[in-house]
Amino acid sequence: MSIRWKTLIPKSQPMLYLKIKPTRGDTFLQGASDPLGIRSNPFHDLTSAGDIPMSKPLPPSPAILWFLERHPGSIVFGQVRIERLENGFCLRSTADKDQSVGSLREYSVTGMRELAQFNAAGDFRPLKSAPDLRVGWVCFVEDARQLEETLDRLYPGGVVDAWAARVKPPPVTHYREFVGRQTGMYRVAQQLSDAGVAEVIRATCDSRHCLKRRFWKVEGLAGDPSDATSDIACLEPCAVLLECARRAARLAQEECISMGLVEGDRAVLMAALEQTLSHPAPGVRAGDLGHPLNPRRICLVLEKLRRTPGLPPSTAS
């Protein structure tokens, strides 16, 4: 048997084929390319039924088996409620736990990725662990493997990270180590002081923005307690936090202005910002941290206003 992959070459050149003749269950020849990723997947096997690589059903991963063993009954993972059935599992939004299945729109496993892409207002969700997953849906899966695939479409890497976080100590990448390998425009995040990083974390990782439990830390601010948020583990800073830290470092380099406000005025400003957070402006993208009405940007200002009066500002080092 031979397997042929047509190479992408200009039409002016003759068509070339790569021919590999592996035996069943054997590895590829040394030095041969693997454009379909068969060699890197130990669960794939080659059959003599034809020239198309056939795949065996993937067994459940150790992560999902641990996940199901840890939660013997109904499971809440982020904003998803998982119920066990005789022949599989039923997934729905936690907000729809009292709704009849017939009143919900059924999604396939592959359709769950599209569900996670946008919130109810139609805005793109740059952070899949944000607490704005749509409601009114239901999804049925057949087994543990499909369950993991579905959860991975809703919360990418969520089950695997939760499984990895069980190790003591968990395999985390703390803030200083994470920004220490940044280059280009994000290198400035290295200059943010520990107090400034703590403000960014409180503004960005608040439960109103993210459902993950933070395991990484910075000097002066430990990780989240075990009863915080959810089982979705955060093992290193995300791209959203990195962007917020970059902007905070740039803002710290700007000249401070004196507004001559008294303590009562500060309370008014904080109340106004809290009200704005409760009624977010429509059309403001979650990832647009340069917008003055971005919720995380507002939270960052609130953190500065909450700072104890008389303390110096948390500027860049």
As a whole number of angstroms, the distance between CA 11 and CA 16 comes to: 11
Peptide bond into 280 cis (omega under 30): no
Output the pLDDT for position 228: 66
Q: 220: domain range? A: 175-306
Domain endpoint, select from 13, 41, 56: 56
- Per the prediction, the chain carries an average pLDDT of 81
Output the pLDDT for position 50: 43
Which segments within the chain are labelled E, that is strand?
3-6, 17-20, 44-45, 54-55, 75-77, 80-85, 88-93, 105-106, 137-141, 213-214, 233-234
Output the pLDDT for position 34: 47
Over residues 46-50, mean pLDDT: 40
Q: Is the pLDDT of residue 23 over 60?
A: no
Domain endpoint, select from 113, 140, 164: 164
Instruction: Mark whether 11 and 119 lie in a shared domain.
Output: no
Instruction: Mark whether 218 and 149 lie in a shared domain.
Output: no
Output the pLDDT for position 308: 53
Over residues 147-167, mean pLDDT: 95
Output the pLDDT for position 53: 53
Q: Is the pLDDT of residue 316 over 70?
A: no
Instruction: Mark whether 231 and 158 lie in a shared domain.
Output: no
User: Is residue 142 one of the residues assigned to a domain?
Assistant: yes
Give the residue among 133, 235, 124 at the shortest CA–CA distance from 178: 235
Instruction: Mark whether 87 and 144 lie in a shared domain.
Output: yes
Instruction: Mark whether 105 and 220 lie in a shared domain.
Output: no
CATH number of the domain bearing residue 126: 3.30.1360.190
How many domains does the chain fold into?
3
Instruction: Mark whether 223 and 188 lie in a shared domain.
Output: yes
Instruction: Mark whether 47 and 70 lie in a shared domain.
Output: no
pLDDT, tens digit, 9 for 90 and up, residues 108-125: 999 999 999 999 989 899
pLDDT, tens digit, 9 for 90 and up, residues 69-128: 998 889 999 999 999 999 999 999 999 999 999 999 999 999 999 999 999 989 899 999
Judged by DSSP in three states, 77 sits in: strand
Output the pLDDT for position 15: 43
Q: How confident is the model at residue 55 (pLDDT cuts 50, 70, 90)?
A: low
Q: Is the pLDDT of residue 129 over 60?
A: yes
Instruction: Mark whether 214 and 143 lie in a shared domain.
Output: no
User: Is residue 240 one of the residues assigned to a domain?
Assistant: yes
Output the pLDDT for position 114: 94
Among the residue ranges 24-38, 105-119, 139-153, the one predicted with the least confidence is 24-38
pLDDT, tens digit, 9 for 90 and up, residues 219-278: 988 888 877 667 899 999 999 999 999 999 998 888 787 877 788 888 898 899 888 888
Share of the chain above pLDDT 70, in %: 79
Instruction: Mark whether 149 and 214 lie in a shared domain.
Output: no
Output the pLDDT for position 133: 96
User: Is residue 111 one of the residues assigned to a domain?
Assistant: yes
Give the residue among 297, 312, 309, 310 at the shortest CA–CA distance from 251: 297
Give the residue among 184, 223, 186, 170 at the shortest CA–CA distance from 201: 223
User: Is residue 47 one of the residues assigned to a domain?
Assistant: yes
Say which residues have a Cβ less than 8 Å from residue 232's Cβ, sequence separation at least 6: 77, 78, 129, 155, 158, 161, 162, 211, 212, 213
Burial classification of residue 192, based on how many CB atoms lie within 10 Å of its CB (0-12 exposed, 13-18 middle, 19 or more buried): buried
Over residues 287-313, mean pLDDT: 76
User: Is residue 312 one of the residues assigned to a domain?
Assistant: no
Instruction: Mark whether 48 and 73 lie in a shared domain.
Output: no
Count of residues making up the chain: 317
Output the pLDDT for position 57: 72
User: Is residue 140 one of the residues assigned to a domain?
Assistant: yes
91 - beta bridge partners?
Answer: 82, 139
Instruction: Mark whether 274 and 157 lie in a shared domain.
Output: no
Query: Residues 144, 60: contact at Cβ < 8 Å?
Result: yes
Instruction: Mark whether 188 and 262 lie in a shared domain.
Output: yes
Domain endpoint, select from 113, 145, 164: 164
pLDDT: which is higher, 55 or 247: 247
Q: How confident is the model at residue 309 (pLDDT cuts 50, 70, 90)?
A: low
User: Is residue 314 one of the residues assigned to a domain?
Assistant: no
As a whole number of angstroms, the distance between CA 134 and CA 79 comes to: 9
User: Is residue 74 one of the residues assigned to a domain?
Assistant: yes
Output the pLDDT for position 266: 84
